Amino acid sequence: MVNTDGQLYTIEGFAAALIMIATAYLVINATSVYTAGDTHISDMQLEAIGTDALKVMDTNESHLSKSPLRDIIEGTPIGAENATFGASFWYLINNRTQSGLDHIQYSASYSYRNTTDNSVNSAFINASRNLSVGEHAVRATKWVVVNKQLPGNITAQDRAVLVEVLMWRD
Amino acid sequence: MTDENGNLSIDFLAGFTIFMLAFIWVVSMIPGLMIGLQSYTIDYDAVAYRTGVILVEDPGWPFSPPWESFNDAQKFNVTRFGLALSKDTPNILSEDKVNRFFCATAFIYPNDYRSRVIFGDYPYGFNISLIDDGGKIKSVGDVLPEGYGYIRRTVKIKGTSNATINQSYIQNHSFTKSDNATTHVFSILIDNPKLLGDITDPAYQIDPAREQITINITDLRSTITNYPPIINNTTSTVTLRNIKVFKQDGGVYSNVPLPATDFPYIDGSSSRVTAMPVSVTDNITLRFSPQFFDRLKAQSSKIYIALGFTVSPESTFLNNTQALPDFNTLDGQLTFNNPNTTPFYYDYNPANVTQPHLRDAVVEVAVWSGAVTSYGGGGPTPINGTHTIYASAGSGGTISPIGSVSVSDGANQLFTITNNTGYHNTDVVVDGVSNGSVTSYTFSNVTQDHTIVASFAINTYVITPTTPLVNGAINPNTPQTVNYGDTPTFTFTPSPGYHLDTVFVNGTPLPPTTPTTYTFPAVTTNKTISATFAPVFFDDFDAVASPAGWTTTGTYNRFTGTPHFGAASIQLRDEPSWLERTISTTGYSSITVSFDMGSQTNAAGHYLSAQWSSDGGVTWTLLKQINDGDPEDDDNLHPFSYSLLASADNNANFVLRFSLEADTPGDKGYVDNVLIGGNPI
Amino acid sequence: MARLNDDAQWIILMGFLVSFSFFFLAMVINQSTVVGQTTAESVIEFPKNDIRDVRGVIISSMNVTNPGVVRGDITVISLSRKNAVISYTSPQIKDNHTVINMHYNNGVTEFNENWTSL
């Protein structure tokens, strides 16, 4: 009564079904989940704001004056903190046209070279508050030529330093 | 499997069914794969970033002649907006470009901007705003929706340079004291090779071909009057004859006609003067547009601007160019060789010229999908063709439909205004225009947003008290306007001896609310109020049947001779006579008695007395006795009034008696106006 | 059996067809989810501000008294803090113009310029 005749289509049907289901299973498992792309946009915005602010601070107000950033670095001894930097920089990164002020925190320092041993050290300028563990920060940098006596030298001379600012959102 | 009989084998059916089931199940998983596909939300930030870069770091196209110098009719020549000063100065913006970009009369949101700064086929909505350190916000674009892409750039804006030539400059630098003349020539030198060569950084450079130059010459009047010889302020005149512009190339002067679009502003006027010569009172402002210098192509030439003045009378004045007899022949030859005179140098000397100053500013760009309706009435027609009518009603009524009503473009909308009970419509204001107190309003063919506000006011009614009242007063005694539903109170003050008896409202007698007041229930119509006052007992004996109701003894009569009050009094005479009455004071307290009494007795021991009893006549209390020879024994009526003890209160057996004790004809006693008053308990 | 009945092979073929198209769709979608990331990432990745900055500091340090020390500063600090190699020549005068040849490479982007003054 039961024989193998008539199982042709059934078997083929089963096989095709298995193939499709297996494929679907593989594909679903393999498709990447879109998650972290958005954070790059806010990073990009922060970096743009930071570099803009540093650039504005390094611009003279007229051809007669010197750049405020240069004045701050030249006038502050290494290891001392300078609050004037914070007063201008904080406002530059947080000012908006409407809806009040933004909440971006920063921590600024500059790197200089020690000519005796060619090492690169960093001097702290100012921070709005300390960066806590786990907060994701973006770095903006600006080269500044200052006339300053740096460790490794005896006299003040023209040197190039790199101002680095870490910024993060509250 | 199949044959013409139309039979299908079970095998085939089973196989095919399994296949189809699996197929359907697998296909239904495909939408789940597509969850991550929403690229356009990421796009907004990218478009905003790109727009921000174009605006802040690019000077725009065409760069020379600068796109901001095109007038409104030529705006189609502007290919791309950009606010930066030049491509070498990113983040430093030009003030002229900024002003032109945000000029709403020149460029129309959104189309003019989309093709010149946003780019792309997709119709993005956007909002670009700028705030400088003066706090002024410029913006172009729509109101920000919920989700949008955003970028913020910090920039500096370069201001323009200007020079002010005031009295101290004139007197200290260019004033040639030996020239007493009527014709004076004052010249200004714009040395382009020096300007462009001394400072090459566009952020600090003064380039007349790129930015506006302003020169103010002030204090003309005070200069001319303060320097000796003193000229009379009212009679001296200064006339600006002409302004000539010379271009010097390699020692050769050529005259450049000054177009009327660059004529000066005289005395603070807001429009340029139309023709010269023109008389000047105090100051001249020269404002040259960059196009004027650009057309001269004078990057390597010196430019002299010579102003010719006629001063009357002769005086030493604004003369730094050797005075020549005829200014009109001053063509191509300026004598600057006189070492005593120098032109005014427009250069980088901060003492003479205010240098261009860089000030902080912030630019924000927000971009979103463009199919958003705009609110606020009068905006552009939204893409999806509905408008909003805002309907609201004040207190006291309602409007239907209420709130934000969406209306399709071109449709009609009817609003019904209903007032609550006790209120009435006062006004229906449509788009700020009053329509009167209508009960319905129809907006026909709606093509933009509208507002409709219905106002209501509470109904008011007048309560009129009747004045004057008899034997009492009402307070307030003027017609009172009250609101619907109010419950005003009227106070009644009876005359002595009277109390408030009945209050009449619209003629209907009503009991008082309290012995002295009446409070209305909620008022819904106009009303009148009146009252009657009543004593406990009163008898003026004017009635013809007097003394009816009194128990009498002896000789008595109603007397109309002297003395009497009203029509008559009661006279007792000739023999012991009395007049007595039981007056119930039930329900009253603080009993008062007043009467008029007088006598004419002829012998001692004769008297007229008034007494009262609280126990029905068993014991008597004397109120007043007029003896023979008393001042009241003068054949006249005298008033007496007394407040009685508490035993008279609420007493059904209160008796009042007047008695004449006499036995001689000619002895007379008179009583009138007997009034018993009391306060209802 | 001499030859298997292959009338029903079309069912298997349909099954394969669906599977392959499923794979293809998944590949395409997989690519597209990376699109948005790339837009913002590419902005961060390209060192526009760094190059402008370096260019600016090289040009503004043209006239200092101790160019060698400044060059050392720039190259060493840039390598250690920014992971970029910078090298540039001292200013040379050619035809009344000053020329500086500068080179920047941060491992992903390379920039070369022969800067001439006006």
Q: Is residue B305 part of a domain?
A: yes
**Do B23 and A17 make contact, defined as CB atoms within 8 angstroms?**
yes
State the pLDDT at residue B352: 85
Residue B334 in this model has a pLDDT that exceeds 90? no
Interface of B with C in 24-53 (CB under 8 A): 26-27, 30, 33-34, 36-37, 39, 41-43, 45-46, 49
Contacting residues of C for A112, CB less than 8 Å apart: 73, 77
**Do A44 and C73 make contact, defined as CB atoms within 8 angstroms?**
no
C-alpha distance from C43 to closest chain A C-alpha (Å)? 7
> What is the average per-residue pLDDT within B538-543?
86
CA distances (Å), origin B670, targets A12, B611, B635, B666: 142, 15, 8, 13
Ordered alpha helix ranges (H), chain A: 8-30, 37-57, 68-75, 83-94
Q: Of B333 and B206, which is predicted with more confidence? A: B206
| Beta bridge mates, B609 | B625, B659
State the pLDDT at residue A142: 95
Interface of C with A in 72-91 (CB under 8 A): 72-74, 76-78, 80-82
**Do B49 and A28 make contact, defined as CB atoms within 8 angstroms?**
no
- Please tell me the distance from the alpha carbon of residue B11 to that of residue B628, in angstroms, as a whole number: 151
Structure tokens at A66: 């010197």
What letter represents residue C14's amino acid? M
CA atoms within 13 A on the CB side of B597: 26
The verdict on B122 and B144 lying in the same domain is yes
Residue B327 in this model has a pLDDT that exceeds 60? no
CA distances (Å), origin B493, targets B499, B536, B607: 8, 16, 37
The verdict on B516 and B553 lying in the same domain is no
How much is the mean pLDDT over chain A? 85
- Please tell me the distance from the alpha carbon of residue C62 to that of residue C78, in angstroms, as a whole number: 18
Contacting residues of A for C69, CB less than 8 Å apart: 115, 157-159
Q: Of B320 and B166, which is predicted with more confidence? A: B166
Residue B622 in this model has a pLDDT that exceeds 70? yes
> What is the average per-residue pLDDT within B244-256?
80
Tens-place pLDDT, residues B275-287 = 888 888 888 899 8
Q: Which residue from A minimizes the CA distance to C46?
A: A44
Residue B42 in this model has a pLDDT that exceeds 70? no
When mean pLDDT is compared over B345-349, B363-367, B598-602, C30-34, the highest value belongs to: B363-367
A:B CB pairs within 8 Å: 129
Residue B35 in this model has a pLDDT that exceeds 60? yes
At CA B543, angle to CA B539 and CA B548, rounded to 5? 70
Structural domain ending residue among the three candidates B90, B115, B148:
B148
| Beta bridge mates, B165 | B217
C-alpha distance from B207 to closest chain A C-alpha (Å)? 14
State the pLDDT at residue B374: 43
Helix B10-27 with A8-30: angle, nearest 10 deg: 10
Q: Of B468 and C87, which is predicted with more confidence? A: C87
Confidence of residue B181 (pLDDT cuts 50, 70, 90): low
Q: How many independent structural domains does chain B possess?
A: 6
The verdict on B123 and B243 lying in the same domain is no
The verdict on B500 and B511 lying in the same domain is yes
Q: Which residue from A minimizes the CA distance to B155?
A: A56
CA atoms within 13 A on the CB side of B19: 25
The verdict on B87 and B5 lying in the same domain is no
> What is the average per-residue pLDDT within B5-19?
81
Prior bond to B680 cis, omega within 30? no
Q: Is C37 on the interface with A (CB under 8 A)?
A: yes
State the pLDDT at residue B70: 84
CA distances (Å), origin B84, targets B67, B675, C75: 12, 105, 31
| Nearest one of B336, B306, B335, B346 to B187, comparing CA atoms | B306
- Please tell me the distance from the alpha carbon of residue B320 to that of residue B217, in angstroms, as a whole number: 14
When mean pLDDT is compared over B1-15, B216-230, B459-473, the highest value belongs to: B459-473
Q: Is C44 on the interface with B (CB under 8 A)?
A: no
B:C CB pairs within 8 Å: 46
- Please tell me the distance from the alpha carbon of residue B349 to that of residue B206, in angstroms, as a whole number: 11
A:C CB pairs within 8 Å: 127
Q: Is A117 on the interface with C (CB under 8 A)?
A: no
> What is the average per-residue pLDDT within B568-586?
87
Confidence of residue A124 (pLDDT cuts 50, 70, 90): very high
Residue B231 in this model has a pLDDT that exceeds 60? no
**% of chain A with per-residue pLDDT over 70:** 90
Tens-place pLDDT, residues C54-108 = 999 999 888 888 899 999 999 999 999 999 999 999 999 988 889 999 999 999 9
> What is the average per-residue pLDDT within B367-378?
57
- Please tell me the distance from the alpha carbon of residue C105 to that of residue B363, in angstroms, as a whole number: 31
Structural domain ending residue among the three candidates B309, B338, B354:
B354
Domain that holds residue A88: 38-169
Q: Is C21 on the interface with A (CB under 8 A)?
A: no
Biggest distance spanned by C-alpha atoms of chain C: 98
Q: Is C6 on the interface with B (CB under 8 A)?
A: no
How much is the mean pLDDT over chain B? 81
**Do A19 and C12 make contact, defined as CB atoms within 8 angstroms?**
yes
- Please tell me the distance from the alpha carbon of residue B288 to that of residue B263, in angstroms, as a whole number: 8
Contacting residues of B for C15, CB less than 8 Å apart: 19, 22-23
The verdict on B179 and B88 lying in the same domain is no
**Do A96 and B139 make contact, defined as CB atoms within 8 angstroms?**
no
The verdict on B337 and B390 lying in the same domain is no
Residue B226 in this model has a pLDDT that exceeds 60? no
> What is the average per-residue pLDDT within B111-135?
87
Q: Is residue B153 part of a domain?
A: no
Cβ atoms of B327 and B183 within 8 Å: the answer is yes
- Please tell me the distance from the alpha carbon of residue B282 to that of residue B230, in angstroms, as a whole number: 17
Q: Is A21 on the interface with C (CB under 8 A)?
A: no
Nearest to C118 among B42, B46, B200 (CB): B200
- Please tell me the distance from the alpha carbon of residue B660 to that of residue B308, in angstroms, as a whole number: 126
The SS3 of residue C42 is: helix
Q: Is B20 on the interface with C (CB under 8 A)?
A: no
Q: Of B233 and B222, which is predicted with more confidence? A: B222
The verdict on B222 and B329 lying in the same domain is yes
When mean pLDDT is compared over B170-184, B238-252, B386-400, B446-460, the highest value belongs to: B238-252
- Please tell me the distance from the alpha carbon of residue B424 to that of residue B434, in angstroms, as a whole number: 16
Residue A143 in this model has a pLDDT that exceeds 90? yes
Q: Of A158 and B221, which is predicted with more confidence? A: A158
C-alpha distance from A76 to closest chain C C-alpha (Å)? 19
In sequence order, which residues have a C-beta less than 8 Å from that of residue B351 and are 6 or more positions away? none
State the pLDDT at residue A68: 92
State the pLDDT at residue B376: 37
Confidence of residue B382 (pLDDT cuts 50, 70, 90): very low
**Do B154 and A9 make contact, defined as CB atoms within 8 angstroms?**
no
Nearest to A24 among B16, B26, B357 (CB): B26
Q: Is residue A32 part of a domain?
A: no
The verdict on B208 and B115 lying in the same domain is no
Q: Is A160 on the interface with B (CB under 8 A)?
A: no
Nearest to A97 among B17, B42, B131 (CB): B131
Chains with 3 or more CB pairs under 8 A to chain A: B, C
> What is the average per-residue pLDDT within B142-157?
90
State the pLDDT at residue B259: 87
Q: Is residue A12 part of a domain?
A: no
Confidence of residue B148 (pLDDT cuts 50, 70, 90): confident
Nearest to C70 among A27, A31, A160 (CB): A160
**Do A111 and C37 make contact, defined as CB atoms within 8 angstroms?**
no
CATH number reported for the structural domain that contains residue B586 in this entry: 2.60.120.260
Domain that holds residue B529: 461-535
Nearest to C44 among A31, A47, A164 (CB): A47
Q: How many independent structural domains does chain A possess?
A: 1
Residue B184 in this model has a pLDDT that exceeds 50? yes
Q: Which residue from B minimizes the CA distance to A5?
A: B11
The verdict on B102 and B246 lying in the same domain is no
Cβ atoms of B516 and B500 within 8 Å: the answer is yes
Confidence of residue B381 (pLDDT cuts 50, 70, 90): very low
Confidence of residue B324 (pLDDT cuts 50, 70, 90): very low
* Boundaries of every domain in chain C: 9-43, 47-116
Prior bond to B547 cis, omega within 30? yes
Mutation target to probe the B interface, by most B beta carbons within 10 A, among A2, A5, A9, A29 is A9
Confidence of residue B227 (pLDDT cuts 50, 70, 90): low
**Do C30 and A44 make contact, defined as CB atoms within 8 angstroms?**
no
Q: Is A22 on the interface with B (CB under 8 A)?
A: no
CA distances (Å), origin B672, targets B148, B533, B597, B661, C28: 100, 20, 7, 18, 123
- Please tell me the distance from the alpha carbon of residue B542 to that of residue B570, in angstroms, as a whole number: 9
Tens-place pLDDT, residues B50-105 = 999 999 999 999 887 888 888 888 888 899 999 999 988 999 999 989 999 998 88
Contacting residues of B for A52, CB less than 8 Å apart: 91, 153-155
Q: Is C118 on the interface with B (CB under 8 A)?
A: yes
**Do B12 and C33 make contact, defined as CB atoms within 8 angstroms?**
no
**Do C8 and B37 make contact, defined as CB atoms within 8 angstroms?**
no
State the pLDDT at residue B336: 47
Structure tokens at C3: 């030859």
Q: Is A127 on the interface with B (CB under 8 A)?
A: no
> What is the average per-residue pLDDT within B440-454?
77
Chains with 3 or more CB pairs under 8 A to chain C: A, B
> What is the average per-residue pLDDT within B555-568?
87
The CB density around residue A157, as the number of other CB atoms within 10 Å, is 17
C-alpha distance from B58 to closest chain A C-alpha (Å)? 15
**% of chain B with per-residue pLDDT over 70:** 86
Mutation target to probe the A interface, by most A beta carbons within 10 A, among B26, B138, B144, B365 is B26
Tens-place pLDDT, residues A50-65 = 999 999 999 988 887 8
Q: Is residue A107 part of a domain?
A: yes
Nearest to C37 among A40, A120, A145 (CB): A40
**Do C60 and A141 make contact, defined as CB atoms within 8 angstroms?**
no
Q: Is residue B634 part of a domain?
A: yes
Q: Is residue B177 part of a domain?
A: yes
Confidence of residue B386 (pLDDT cuts 50, 70, 90): low
